Homo-oligomer: A and B are copies of this chain.
Amino acid sequence: MRRTDLFVPTSKEAESSAQVRSAELALRSGLVDHPGAGIFSYSPTGERVRKNISDIIREKMNDIGAQEVSLPGLQYADIWRKSGRWEEFEGEMFTFQNREGKDMCLATTHEEPMAGLVRERVRSPKNMPLVLYQIGEKYRDDHPRNGLLRAKQFTMKDAYSFTTDEAALDEIYQEMRAAYIEIFDELGVEYAIVDADPSSMGGTASEEFQAPAEVGSDEMAYCPGDDCHFGTLDFDVDVCPECGTDLVETNSIELGHIFKLGTRYSDPMDLTYDTESGQEEVIMGSYGIGVSRLIPALIEQRNDENGIIWPESVAPFSLSVVPLNEDPEIIEMAEEIHDRVGSEEVLLFDGDTAIGEKFAESDLIGVPAKVILGNTFLEDGELEVEFRDGGREYYEPADFFETYA
C-alpha cells in the first residue's frame, strides 16, 4: 500500500485525553478512532491488526476441530431469564424493548444462546464431543476506561464444548489449553497461566491467561522465566514450582479464560441427552479470548519512545519502504519491492513529507522492519533493512526477495 493512499486517522486529542500508554499510542498511530466513551472505530491499520489476530485464533480453533458459528448480538430476554442471569447482569447489560414491547438485550456473553442452539440437536452421545466457537461482538455497559482495555463494545472469541462426561470435558479442556498456548505464543504476547476461582460460576476448574502489564486491573505473581508460563494468585509462593525462578508480583490484563462449566447452564437450559436409562445433563466448557483487548495488551508490552513494536504475526504491514530521494534506480527498486512482496505486506512511503517524518511514522505505526533505499543501495546495490528493535541487515536484492517475497 502507498502511504499517500492509506487512511490513518491520527488523533490530536491523544496526548491530553488518554490515561494509559496503549490508549495514547492506539490513537496517535491512527489504529483506532474514539467516537464516544467506550466505543471505538478500527481504521485500516487497526482492522488489519484485528484481522491478523482473529485469523491466528481461527486457524488454531479449526485445527482442534472446533466449528465456527455466529450468534446474534441482539437477544430476547427469555433465555437470560431462564438461566437466572437477566437480573444478575443488571446495569451491565444493555436492555431495551422492541416495537412489540418485548424485552431485548445486547449479549454480554453467549453461554445461554449457545446452549439454546444445541438444545434438542445434541441428543445422542454420538453427537458429542462437540465444540463450537465464534469471533464477534460483545456489549457491556461498563465504566469505560483505559481505551480498548475496557470498552462498551468489544470483540471476543468464545468457544463452548459439549460432552457426556467429565473425562471428555477434561480432554477438550486440555486441547483448548494447548491451543491457547500456541495462539498466545504466535501472537508474541508475554503471559502467565493462572488458576482462577471457578466457584463463582459454579464450575469445577478454571484457568486464566494473564498478560503482565502495569495498567492491568488484575493482580498475580508469575514466573518471568523464558517459556515458563506459571502464574498464581497465591502471593505467599515465592519461587516458580516449575522452573525454580523467583516469582514477580504484577498487575495484569486478562487475555483468555478457559472454564469447566459442568452443568451450570445445562441444568436451567434443559440441555440433556438420551441414555438407555433416561436423560443426562450435557457437560459444558467455555473458552474465551479477548480479541480486541489483545491489541492494547500487546501495545503495553511492546512499545518504546518512538511508538508501537508489533510482532510480525500481528503487524498491519510487515515491511515499510523508505526511498531517501527521487533517484530513478531508487524509485524503481521501491516499486519492485511493493509489487513483489505485495501491497498487502508493504507500506511504501511515497509522498513529499520529510524523511524524518517517514521514519517516525513507520516506527509509530509499529511496522517491524524498514527498507531504506539511499546511498548504500546506489553505491553497493545492497538493500538496508532496519528492524524496529534497532537491528540492521544488508541484503543483495536476490537474497532480499528470497527472504521477503
Taking Cβ atoms with an 8 Å cutoff, the residues of A that contact B are 4-10, 33, 35-37, 39-44, 46-48, 50-51, 65, 67-76, 78-79, 91, 94-96, 98-100, 102, 104, 106, 113, 116-118, 121-122, 126-127, 130, 132, 134, 137, 139, 141, 143, 152-153
Contact = CB atoms under 8 A, between A and B. Distances in A.
A69 B94 contact: no
- DSSP class of A's interface residues: helix, strand, loop or mixed? mixed
Contact of A69 (B44, B79, B118): B44
8 contacts: A6-B67, A36-B78, A37-B100, A44-B67, A51-B68, A74-B139, A74-B152, A96-B96
A138 to B, nearest CB: 11
Number of copies: 2
Contact of A9 (B44, B47, B76, B118): B118
A42 B135 CA distance: 12
Contacts of A46: 69-70
Contacts of A118: 7, 9
A130 B239 CA distance: 56
Contact of A35 (B91, B96, B99, B117): B117
A47 B69 contact: yes
Nearest to A137: B73
A331 B243 CA distance: 48
B39 A72 contact: yes
A101 to B, nearest CB: 11
Contacts of A8: 121
A165 to B, nearest CB: 19
A373 to B, nearest CB: 23
